[in-house]
Amino acid sequence: MNGIGNIMIIDDSPLDRLIITQLLKKRFSRIKIFEMDDGIDAAKNLIKYDIQVCILDIMLPGKNGYQILKELKANKNTKDIPVIIFTAMDDTASIERALTLGALDYFTKPISEESMKISLPLKIKNAIELYKRNKQISYLSYHDKLTGLNNRRFFEDEMIRLDNENYYPLSFIMGDINGLKISNDIFGHEAGDKLLKAIASVLKRSCNRGNVISRWGGDEFVIMLPKTDRDKVEKICEKIHTSCKQYKGSSISLSISLGYATKKDTFEDITQILKMAENNMYHHKLLEGTSSHSSIIGSLRSTLQEKNLETSEHIDRLALLSRKLGITLGLSENELDNIYLLALLHDIGKIALNDSLLMKPEPLTEAEFEIIKSHSEIGYRIAKSIPELTHIASCILHHHEWWNGTGYPSGLIGADIPKYARIVSIIDAYDAMTNARGYKIAMSSEDAIKEIKKNAGIQFDPQIVEAFCEAMNNKNMEVC
């Protein structure tokens, strides 16, 4: 039914309809023309055939054109469809009447040469374009562009309409996506958008017809469920959680905290019910908060491994080495934990980089190297957004700084580089040298230590290099 333009001609003369049809078809090939010889079911047919402009004769059997026009303008489903009136040339009164009733424009009969060739087809075309633009604007004013769900404005209008005992029990589900900020920070806003769209489709799949699903704010969604009691709402919430778990579209698991409340009686204040649903949602969010964060760290780590950026052996070795070095440096147990975490996650920013770039066997171009270098900043943003990792964020940022100030990203010098970053950079370098990685052949431990010593005061903190050598020489050290 959706042509470039769907036009309805309401005229009781088949010949006039045919003439208009031919004039329009001569100019525009991609239009669809529908005809009626009276206006009895005008509104119904205009909706049924998705009409974008209606050409209406005034003198009709049964209802006349004015009555039809009045009805079309009074119907919320047809009031925006442009109507162009056909009227006798000298009949200024009827032109005035039709335009007053809301007709967009008029043609006079007999159709003049100019009208046939120019203004009739072009006025129709402009009316269709106007209608389509208006339709788009009204769609956007009631929908969220990204997810295609209804927006808050629509929801609030519907809330007034459905706050009626015919629709009780009227339930509300409030939902807040988990991990949207992290997803935006790590993978960029496109990935965040993908997450929002995924949630929107989960919600659509999980809800029933007649439920009003809308995007309430940034990462918040709200669903209004007329004639839905507590048990049914609970089932829908379960359905949403299950669908989220089954979703396999991104590195970050899809998760949403939900809360609901139900209005059963007229005297209950609907805004309070909505507030209750929101409070329940926050309550769940707090309960789920910790687990969702640790699941985020878990999923970050598994992504690193899936991408073959870090093997679990490498991580185990780093953990062991960092502990050994930490003990030699006389660090506290708490500090040892932090070093361990940093050793584990210092390259976390790499998950946002392109696999083919990370695995590229050939030497990198300057531009490619710049991209690779961005992993420390991305890692910093990731760590910043996860409460458990905030304290090591700046160490992640600076784990590629050099003692002499020639590292990246900030070119920090000496003790300005965070201590944990200075420690982990030595361990990471040692492990990289002593283990075969891709095209690189493994070095012996002695050679690697020699290389590190050579770079003391250049790349590495000389004092920590000293401690590192000591730790490496101390074969009997107990680390656990």
CB of 217 to other proteins, least distance (A): 56
Task: State the binding string over 210-229 for other proteins (x if CB under 8 A, else -).
Answer: --------------------
**Residue closer to other proteins (CB basis): 60 or 426:** 60
Of these, 48, 70, 77, 110, which contacts other proteins (CB under 8 A)?
110
CB of 23 to other proteins, least distance (A): 7
CB of 37 to other proteins, least distance (A): 11
Of these, 112, 119, 151, 410, which contacts other proteins (CB under 8 A)?
112
**Residue closer to other proteins (CB basis): 94 or 171:** 94
Q: Which of positions 3-62 make contact with other proteins (CB under 8 A)? A: 12-16, 18-19, 22-23, 26, 59-61
The answer to whether 52 touches 77, Cβ cutoff 8 Å, is no
Helix or strand run (H / E) with residue 113: helix 113-114
CB of 126 to other proteins, least distance (A): 19
**Residue closer to other proteins (CB basis): 88 or 458:** 88
Choose the binding region for other proteins from 106-114, 219-227, 372-380, 465-473 (rule: CB under 8 A): 106-114
**Residue closer to other proteins (CB basis): 59 or 101:** 59
Binding residues for other proteins, total number by CB under 8 A: 21
**Residue closer to other proteins (CB basis): 19 or 130:** 19
Of these, 40, 99, 101, 116, which contacts other proteins (CB under 8 A)?
116
Kindly report the number of other CB atoms within 10 A of residue 275's CB atom. 14
Classified as helix, coil or strand, 477 is coil
**Residue closer to other proteins (CB basis): 11 or 401:** 11
Q: Which of positions 65-104 make contact with other proteins (CB under 8 A)? A: 88
Taking CB under 8 A as the rule, does residue 109 contact other proteins? yes
Helices (H), 346-385: 355-358, 366-373, 375-384
- Give the number of C-alpha atoms closer than 13 A to the C-alpha of residue 100, restricted to the C-beta side: 8
Of these, 1, 2, 30, 113, which contacts other proteins (CB under 8 A)?
113
> Which residues on adjacent β-strands are paired with residue 224?
172, 212
**Residue closer to other proteins (CB basis): 95 or 336:** 95
Pairwise CA distance, residues 285 & 273, whole Å: 18
Taking CB under 8 A as the rule, does residue 117 contact other proteins? yes
Taking CB under 8 A as the rule, does residue 133 contact other proteins? no
- Start-to-end CA span in the chain (Å): 73
Pairwise CA distance, residues 326 & 380, whole Å: 22
Choose the binding region for other proteins from 77-85, 110-118, 175-183, 453-461 (rule: CB under 8 A): 110-118
Classified as helix, coil or strand, 36 is strand
Kindly report the number of other CB atoms within 10 A of residue 118's CB atom. 12
The CA-CA-CA angle for residues 203, 208, 211, to 5°, reads: 80
**Residue closer to other proteins (CB basis): 42 or 277:** 42
CB of 94 to other proteins, least distance (A): 12
Q: How long is the chain?
A: 480
Task: State the binding string over 345-384 for other proteins (x if CB under 8 A, else -).
Answer: ----------------------------------------
- What residues contact 131, with CB distance under 8 A and at least 6 apart? 52, 53, 80, 81, 82
The answer to whether 384 touches 393, Cβ cutoff 8 Å, is yes
Tokens of 272: 């309070």
**Residue closer to other proteins (CB basis): 113 or 366:** 113
CB of 16 to other proteins, least distance (A): 6
Tokens of 39: 């206006």
**Residue closer to other proteins (CB basis): 110 or 298:** 110
**What radius of gyration, in Å, describes the C-alpha atoms of the chain?**
34
Q: Residue 206: which of 244, 156, 259 has the closest Cα?
A: 244
Tokens of 464: 């920590």
Exposed/middle/buried for residue 387 (C-beta within 10 Å: 0-12, 13-18, 19+): exposed
Choose the binding region for other proteins from 108-116, 186-194, 297-305, 329-337 (rule: CB under 8 A): 108-116
Largest CA distance in the chain: 111
> Which residues on adjacent β-strands are paired with residue 53?
7
Taking CB under 8 A as the rule, does residue 122 contact other proteins? no
- Give the number of C-alpha atoms closer than 13 A to the C-alpha of residue 102, restricted to the C-beta side: 17
**Residue closer to other proteins (CB basis): 13 or 455:** 13
Residues that bind other proteins (CB under 8 A): 12-16, 18-19, 22-23, 26, 59-61, 88, 109-113, 116-117
